[in-house]
Amino acid sequence: MNEFLNTDIMGNTLRNYGIVLAIVLFIYFIRRYLSRNIAAWLFRLIRHWSPQIAEREFVELLLKPLEYFLLLTAFIMASNHLVFPPELNITLYNRTGEPYTLKMFTDLLVKVTFTCTVIWIVLRLIDFIALILEKKADLTEDKTDNQFVVFFRDFFKAIIFIIGFIALMNILFGRGLVEKLVAGLGIGAAALALAAKESIENLIGSFIIFFDKPFRVGDFVKVDSFQGTVEKIGLRSTRIRTLDKTFITVPNKKMVDSVLDNLSLRTQQRVALKLELAPDTPSESVMAVVKSLQDYLDNHKDVEKGASVSLFDFGKDSFVLQIIYMTNILDNTPYVNMRENVNLELVRILESNGVKLAARTDTPAA
């Protein structure tokens, strides 16, 4: 039996192959159990920071990356018992006089995979910290706190991605090459900075939005020719749901540089109407309509004091009445209902005084 286990196959004994296979398979079959227990242990260490977070939420965040991490670690440790078969250590290419072998490639692949797994775990930890802060932010009345959590979660994730990218470049090309590339950029650095100018401006715009607070998630805003509800403020752009239920993305630089009207911050809504009465309307009827409508608005519970009804203008085709009033109703549906009631009363007043609107006269096209 020993002789069989000591049989050499491509530089390694069957015993060594068996040990490696057993370790990898053992970790593979218990990886979920180990990952759950490690995640639960980590949660017990930090649960006093997050009493609002359930253990299940933390475990689910870390479960997958921990499984890959354990399996990869087991493979790396187990493979140390093996010698890379000389028969497989072929040269992939030899461009600079130094051969690049298959073993070098597999070692590089393992390092890259391991680094990506670590980055994955760190990103999930950032998600967990953000989850803790979101729960705490939900307890406050200021919804800006929730915006900060989402913003800085994305911000730190971007930093981790950059650090991870640099680490991968060091693994793939060597630290010396990366340093030479950075040092030798020269004109390329200026071109890169120019290309990144817009992204940097959008990033600065996002900081201005968060610290100056011209609007926040949930606000109804008007920018340029569109208006809608802010659904997300990111590092680069702001997402807005329009009245047509379309989803538009606006660069943060434009949100900061443009004239922005935050309609959610208004305290009242202004209504302005112009009515064109028939030119043969008697002056007594005109004044009766003005007085009746003024009395109605002055006594309306949803109309603020200071409403104005006046004979604004007149011409050969009509008398023009101008009606201006303010209301504290801000929600759209109650506002529309209130305007409908006022308009119906206006129609009733016109009918009761025998007043008709001016006939529309359209100039025929030449």
| pLDDT classification of 77: cutoffs 50, 70, 90 | confident
Output the pLDDT for position 34: 86
pLDDT of residue 181: 57
Q: What domains can you pick out in the chain, each with its CATH number?
A: 2-184 (no CATH), 214-265 (2.30.30.60), 269-352 (3.30.70.100)
Q: Grade residue 162 by pLDDT with cuts at 50, 70 and 90.
A: confident
Q: How far apart are CA 231 and CA 238, in angstroms?
A: 8
For residue 177, CA distances in Å to 161, 174, 189, 190, 193 come to: 20, 6, 16, 20, 21
* Contact yes or no for 63/73 (Cβ under 8 A): no
What single-letter DSSP state applies at residue 83? P
Q: With 80 as the cut, is the pLDDT of residue 231 above it?
A: yes
Q: What are phi and psi of 81, to 5 degrees?
A: -80, -5
User: Comparing C-alpha atoms, which of 241, 257, 239 is closest to residue 249?
Assistant: 239
For the cut 80, the answer to whether the pLDDT of residue 366 exceeds it is no
The mean per-residue pLDDT over the stretch 47-56 comes to 65
Is the pTM here over 0.85, yes or no? no
* CA–CA gap between residue 101 and residue 88 (Å, rounded): 9
Number of C-beta neighbours around residue 43 at 10 A = 20
Residue whose token pair is 């590092």: 235
pLDDT of res. 363: 45
CA distance 263 to 221: 5
Confidence (pLDDT) at 361:
56
34 or 50: which leads in pLDDT: 34
Task: To the nearest 10°, report the CA torsion of 219, 224, 225, 227.
Answer: 0
Local structure of residue 87 (DSSP, 8 states): G
Question: What mean pLDDT comes out for the span 59-63?
Answer: 78
Q: What does the mean pLDDT of the chain come to? A: 79
DSSP-based three-state secondary structure for 269:
strand
Torsion sign, CA atoms 173, 179, 180, 184: positive
Residue 111: pLDDT band with limits 50, 70, 90:
confident
Look at residues 192, 305, 210, 295 and name the one whose alpha carbon lies nearest to residue 252.
210
- H-only helix segments in 80-214: 102-138, 144-173, 175-183, 187-195, 197-212
Residue 326 pLDDT > 90, yes or no? yes
315-322 mean pLDDT: 83
Tell me: pLDDT of 340 over 90.
Answer: yes
Contacts 24+ apart (CB under 8 A), 185-191: none
| CB-count exposure of residue 323 (10 Å: 0-12, 13-18, 19+) | buried
Asked if pLDDT for residue 1 goes beyond 60, the answer is yes
